[in-house]
Every structure is written in C-alpha cells, then in structure tokens.
Chain A
Amino acid sequence: MATSELQAVVRERDGVAVIDLTGEVNASAEEALNDAYAAATAGGGGSVVLNFEHADYINSTGIALIVGLLAQARKNGIEVKAFGLSDHYREIFEITRLADFMTIADNEDHAVNGAERSKDA
C-alpha cells in the first residue's frame, strides 16, 4: 500500500517557526521531520510550532519521532508547541503525556501568540 509520505514545510509567522505537517506521521516521516526541525531552529528562535491540521495519521513510530524531536528541543532550550490535533490524537498526546511536555494549543493563533508570550516572559 502506498503511504503518503509526510511533507514538513517550515514557515515563519510573527517571528515564530511553524512546521506544517501534511500526510502520515509514521516511520517514513523521520527525515522530513528532522530536516524541518533543523531548518526551523537554524535561526536560533526560542520556539517551534508543529501544525498537525493536515497530519491525518499518527502511529506509535510517529509518536516516537515526536518524542525524539521534543528531547532534542529540550536539550537546545527550545519550546515546542502544537495545534491542529484531532480530538483523538489530542487524547493520545495526553495518554502518552506528550501534552505535559509541550503546549497543545487550540489553533495557530494561540500557538504562535502563546509562543510569543512565553518567549517574552
């Protein structure tokens, strides 16, 4: 079965790096996710926002990739935020306690502004 490989595009919104994730967050997403994270943090910003609005499938391997990204970010002192998670994946982020270590925002504005705020604070 063909899998739709993850597209991870980095853009800037109000001085915050936003990574738009499109497709499936699974084993094949590793390179795209790591590259996007490297690009998003190259400017030395204090936070990264993950946009899951168009990530239609996240499996346990995908969770592991996000855990890896989060561990990397904590080492670099970068805050990770997320938005656009469906109720189901939001539940999974809570069950796995990912939600305890990254802010899950309701939408992009909250994620970016919240990020701004936390940066200002």
Chain B
Amino acid sequence: MTALTKPFRRRLLGRRRAEPEAAQPERTDADTALPEQAPVEIAANDPLLAYFQSASEAVDIDGLELDSPALRELKAAGVKLAVPLVSQGELIGVLNLGPRLSEQDYSSDDRKLLDNLAAQAAPALRVGQLVREQEAEAATRQRFEQELEVARLIQQHFLPKELPDLPGWQVAAYYRPAREVGGDFYDVIPLPDGRVGFVVGDVTDKGVPAALVMSATRSVLRASAQRLIEPGIVLERVNEHLFPDMPEKMFVTCLYGVLDPATGHLRFANAGHDLPYVKTAHGLVELRARGMPLGLMSGMAYEEKEATLDPGDSVLLHSDGVVEAHDPQRNMFGFPRLKETMAGVPGGQALIDRVLSELEAFTGPDAEQEDDITMVTLQRSLGASRAAAANGRVLAEFELSSAPGNERQAVDGVERAVAEIGLGSPRLDRLKTAVAEATMNAMEHGNEYRADRPVSIRVLHSPDRLRVQVTDQGDAGELPHPETPDLKAKLEGRQKPRGWGLFLIEKMVDETRVTSEGGVHTLELALRLEGVGDGDE
C-alpha cells in the first residue's frame, strides 16, 4: 500500500507547487508558459515527514528550521505555506502555497480557511486513493485469473479425451485441478501388439509454467514410448530431452508402466513419483522402482520392475494431491489412510469414488482443494479368468476389418482352426454359417461397417466345448434384438424380408451367449463336443 500511495503523494506535491507560481504577476498561462517543476519527494527518514504528520495546522515554511532536504527544496521553490493533508494519522498529501498576490502574509482567517479545507480534503483524497488502489488490485487479480484459465486450458488439452476399451479390464481416470492449477497429468498410450502405456506425473510449480512443462513432458513421453519398449529406457530418454530446457527449480515426477492386457504383465519404472498400489487377493502391494525425478540431472538411470496383475487385481496410480490433502487441524490424509480406503473397495471407478468421498469427509466439504488430484485405476476382471479357464486352449485368434464380404475371412479362418478337431460336415457347415452371420452382425450393427473398427475372432477348444467368440468394437449400446422371423408374415409384407441373422445363428449352434463389457460386444457360439465322434449328433 505504501508503494501505491507514494507516487500519488509525489504527483500531488508537484501539482500544488505549480499553483502559487500561477499566481505570480508575470505569469500569463500557467500550463504552457512554465515547465513542470520536478516534484518534491519527502524521503521516509526526512524529519519534515514526521513534522507534517503531527502538525495540526498550516505550516510556515520560511519560519521552519529542520535539517531536511525536502524543506530546502520547498524553500527554493518559493513555497510559503504548507497545509498537510492527514487522514487517520497518515500524511497523504500537502497543499503548498506560494506568496499571496498582495505580497502580504497569510492572515489568521486565511489559515483557518485553509485548515478547514484540509480537514475536508484529506478524507476525500483518501477515498480517491483507496478507489485507485482497489482498481489496481482488481486488475492484478484479473490477470492472475486469466493466467490460471490459460494453464487450465493447456492442462486439459493434453489429458486423454477418452480411455481405451481393454477387454477384460476396467480402466478409469480422474483429474481435478486445484484453483491454482498444478502440474498433474496422466496419459494412456496405445502401443504396438495391443500393449498399453500408463502414465501419471506431477510437475513442480503451478500455473502456466507447470502446464507448459507438463505438455512438453507428455509429448516427449508419447514419442519415446512408441519407439522404445522398456519403461526404464523411456524415462531415461525423456529425462535427457527435458533436462537441458527445464526451468530452474522445476522437475517432474512420473510413473510409467506398460501393460499387456492379454497376460496382465506390467513393466514399470518410476521417476520419483508416489508409489502405485496394487490390491491383490493376498493384500495390498506397493509397486517400487527407484529413479530420480525428470529434468533434474542428466545421465540418470531408472530401475525397471515387473509385476503380474492377476484377475481381480486392481492398481491405483495417484498424485500427491490425494495423500497431501489436509484436514482443518492441518493433519495430512497420508498413505495409511489411502491404503485403508483401497482395502475396502474392489477397484476401478468405485475406488476413485470412494477415495474422493473419504477425502471430502477428511478435509471438510467447503475446504479449498490444495493441489491437483489425479487418479488412474486399472482393474482386471475376475470374469475373464473364469472364462479363460473354462474356455480352454486358443486354437486361433485374429481380426478382420469391417467391410461387406469380409465374413468369408472369418469363416475360412475358423474352418482352418477347427480342422484338427475333425467336425463332421453338417456341424462344420452349420458352424461356418453361424460364424458368417455373427461376423456380419458385428461388422454391421456393432462396427457400423467402419474400417477402423475391426472384428476379432477367437476360437477356443476345451474337452466339452468348441467356442467361437466374435467381438465388435461398437459403442452403439445394446445389440438389436430383432423379432423372430416369420416367413408367412414376410411373404405377406407384414415383416421385412430381412432379419434372419440371429435366428440362423441360434439354429446352427448348440449355445449362444452375448456379453457386453467396456463398450464391446462378444457373441459366443458354442458346439457341445461330448460323445461326438464323427461330428454327427
């Protein structure tokens, strides 16, 4: 506040000082004829300041004897009378007057008038100063808010727009920036061979600088992840890229893991980030791997570890905004509380929801969030394992693109795969028709014949069953359940000629089952194999 009032005071002094000169007889036009004189600055340690501040009336400058540079300046400028403007004990300005036009001294009436004027002017001037101060503060605040908005936009732009559908897995993520946007980020990177990279990171600092470093880290990580396989090498490479341009006192903590969804195998490396937890059937496990944060030092190596996520296991990747949240008594939420929370929920979105509600109960509902909060959960479905055990050996697994006629590829692939079982011709023909129809359904209804949405086919053989699983990538919701076709009604125009697909499938195989998980639909066709020798029933 002192810094803001000072220039104002200085301007006031300068302007007032010109006025007595405007009254000089030889002056004709004050503003144009005379150059503006330099304002008189009263230094904080100048005795004149204390004198004016405590003066209760107009002060005769000529009669004043003080060792004061400001006083000497005033005398030199021809100021005869100074009227301090004091508001609430603070000197906020001075009215400086030169000699009277009549060249007589100021009368006691003049002084009384000036004192009255000062008493009125001082509070009015103070109000004016306060208004200016507030305007300046508001402008600063607005600039700050705009900067936060920019930081938020950068941050949001670089977070994944959607999470991948991994059959047999539930992936969920949560990100909520603090008001002063921190540098949290997470990413999910599809890799060759169906593997998926998972990233959770945190840039020190807040606002735009943190957001910019976050976006750079994410880009370098994405690029490196595509070229390199080992997570430790990826972090090493990212560190080398970031280090030269990293602003002073900034660094990035980051956990990077590569998951093979088919096997549950996870390889991970950690650049100083909070350890992820895995909830297993045998309790909670920390995924430990050593490494320095990114961008601090060149030539860092990152320890690489491996873990296998069994069906039912659930991983939580998180940022320090969770464990470092405080309650009103300044106690930290802490790792033990997070572990305890995790033990009570299976995982996935339910785990995120539970942590958030525990956090809110801990900090109090109206507490301002101190730091960004980021959580990513990966949960391997239990169902996948049971199905895998029951399904037996995989005879074939392949994909085909959704285009008219491609169901023949599915038929040929399945026919080759089941050759070793020696199905007799009627059953094989029926299976082929069912596979063709199921594939057409998946391409048309599930994938809407979009080339970028493949149909995957899996052929499984167990002692009692042959199963063909046809999976689409559709997110269109439920598969249509057409009415049972009635040929008479069709011939009489009461039903459309089409709608034979599912009907045929059900007639061609012994069992059918539709499962929907994570936005994909799987139609499973099964033939019972008990007591089947030559393929005839």
Instruction: Pick the contact of A74: B425, B491, B497 (CB < 8 A).
Output: B491
Instruction: Pick the contact of A101: B406, B408, B487 (CB < 8 A).
Output: B487
B209 at the interface (CB under 8 A from A): no
Instruction: Pick the contact of A64: B404, B407, B426, B498 (CB < 8 A).
Output: B498
Q: Is the CB of A68 within 8 A of B405?
A: no
Q: Which residue of B lies closest to A70 (CB)?
A: B491
Q: Is the CB of B426 within 8 A of A65?
A: no
Q: Is the CB of A65 within 8 A of B433?
A: no
CA of A2 to CA of B492, assembled, Å: 35
Q: Is the CB of B491 within 8 A of A59?
A: no
A32 at the interface (CB under 8 A from B): no
CA of A3 to CA of B407, assembled, Å: 10
Q: Is the CB of B408 within 8 A of A67?
A: no
B47 at the interface (CB under 8 A from A): no
CA of A98 to CA of B503, assembled, Å: 14
Q: Is the CB of B497 within 8 A of A3?
A: no
A60 at the interface (CB under 8 A from B): yes
Instruction: Pick the contact of A63: B404, B406, B488, B500 (CB < 8 A).
Output: B500
Q: Is the CB of B405 within 8 A of A3?
A: yes
CA of A26 to CA of B411, assembled, Å: 15
Q: Is the CB of A60 within 8 A of B497?
A: no
A91 contacts which chain B residues (CB < 8 A)? 426, 430
A1 contacts which chain B residues (CB < 8 A)? 403, 405-406, 408-409
| Mask of A35-77 contacts with B, CB within 8 angstroms, 1/0 | 0000000000000000000000101110111011011001000
A28 at the interface (CB under 8 A from B): yes
A113 at the interface (CB under 8 A from B): no
Q: Is the CB of B507 within 8 A of A71?
A: no
B500 contacts which chain A residues (CB < 8 A)? 60, 63-64, 96
Within B148-163, the residues touching A (CB, 8 Å) are none
Q: Is the CB of B497 within 8 A of A59?
A: no
B167 at the interface (CB under 8 A from A): no
B490 contacts which chain A residues (CB < 8 A)? 67, 71
| Mask of B349-381 contacts with A, CB within 8 angstroms, 1/0 | 000000000000000000000000000000000
A97 at the interface (CB under 8 A from B): yes
A14 at the interface (CB under 8 A from B): no
B504 at the interface (CB under 8 A from A): yes
Q: Is the CB of A67 within 8 A of B497?
A: yes
Range of interface residues on A (Cβ < 8 Å): 20 to 34
Q: Which residue of A lies closest to B436 (CB)?
A: A59
CA of A65 to CA of B491, assembled, Å: 11
Instruction: Tally A-B pairs: CB < 8 A.
Output: 76
Residue in A60, A96, A98 whose Cβ sees the most chain B Cβ within 10 Å: A60
B493 at the interface (CB under 8 A from A): yes
B501 at the interface (CB under 8 A from A): yes
Instruction: Pick the contact of B408: A28, A57, A60 (CB < 8 A).
Output: A57
A87 at the interface (CB under 8 A from B): yes
Q: Is the CB of A96 within 8 A of B426?
A: no
Q: Which residue of A lies closest to B496 (CB)?
A: A64
CA of A1 to CA of B405, assembled, Å: 6
Q: Is the CB of B497 within 8 A of A64?
A: yes
CA of A25 to CA of B497, assembled, Å: 15
A28 contacts which chain B residues (CB < 8 A)? 404-405
B340 contacts which chain A residues (CB < 8 A)? none
Q: Is the CB of B487 within 8 A of A97?
A: yes
Q: Is the CB of B491 within 8 A of A67?
A: yes
B440 at the interface (CB under 8 A from A): yes
B437 at the interface (CB under 8 A from A): yes
A9 at the interface (CB under 8 A from B): no
Q: Is the CB of A101 within 8 A of B491?
A: yes
CA of A26 to CA of B504, assembled, Å: 15
**Nearest chain B CB to A3's CB is how many angstroms away?**
4
CA of A61 to CA of B507, assembled, Å: 16
Q: Is the CB of B430 within 8 A of A59?
A: no
Q: Which residue of A lies closest to B507 (CB)?
A: A95
A60 contacts which chain B residues (CB < 8 A)? 437, 440, 498, 500-501, 504
**Nearest chain B CB to A96's CB is how many angstroms away?**
6
CA of A65 to CA of B404, assembled, Å: 16
A78 at the interface (CB under 8 A from B): no
CA of A101 to CA of B488, assembled, Å: 9
B392 contacts which chain A residues (CB < 8 A)? none
B110 at the interface (CB under 8 A from A): no
**Nearest chain A CB to B154's CB is how many angstroms away?**
46
B272 at the interface (CB under 8 A from A): no
B429 at the interface (CB under 8 A from A): yes
A100 at the interface (CB under 8 A from B): yes
B405 contacts which chain A residues (CB < 8 A)? 1-3, 26, 28
B498 contacts which chain A residues (CB < 8 A)? 60-61, 64
A88 at the interface (CB under 8 A from B): yes
CA of A59 to CA of B498, assembled, Å: 11
**Nearest chain A CB to B149's CB is how many angstroms away?**
52
| Mask of A80-110 contacts with B, CB within 8 angstroms, 1/0 | 0000001110011001111011000000000
CA of A57 to CA of B435, assembled, Å: 13
Q: Is the CB of B501 within 8 A of A27?
A: no
| Mask of B391-424 contacts with A, CB within 8 angstroms, 1/0 | 0000000000001111111000000000000000
**Nearest chain A CB to B403's CB is how many angstroms away?**
8
Q: A59-B436, A59-B437, A60-B498 are in contact. Are A27 and B487 (CB under 8 A)?
A: no
**Nearest chain B CB to A81's CB is how many angstroms away?**
16
B409 contacts which chain A residues (CB < 8 A)? 1
B408 contacts which chain A residues (CB < 8 A)? 1, 3, 57
Residues of B within 8 A of A (CB): 403-409, 425-426, 429-430, 433, 436-437, 440, 485, 487-488, 490-493, 496-501, 503-504, 507
15 chain-A/chain-B pairs, Cβ below 8 angstroms: A1-B403, A1-B409, A3-B404, A28-B405, A59-B407, A59-B440, A60-B504, A63-B504, A67-B497, A70-B491, A74-B491, A88-B433, A92-B504, A95-B504, A98-B487
Ranked 4 nearest A-B pairs via Cβ? A88-B429, A3-B405, A60-B500, A64-B497
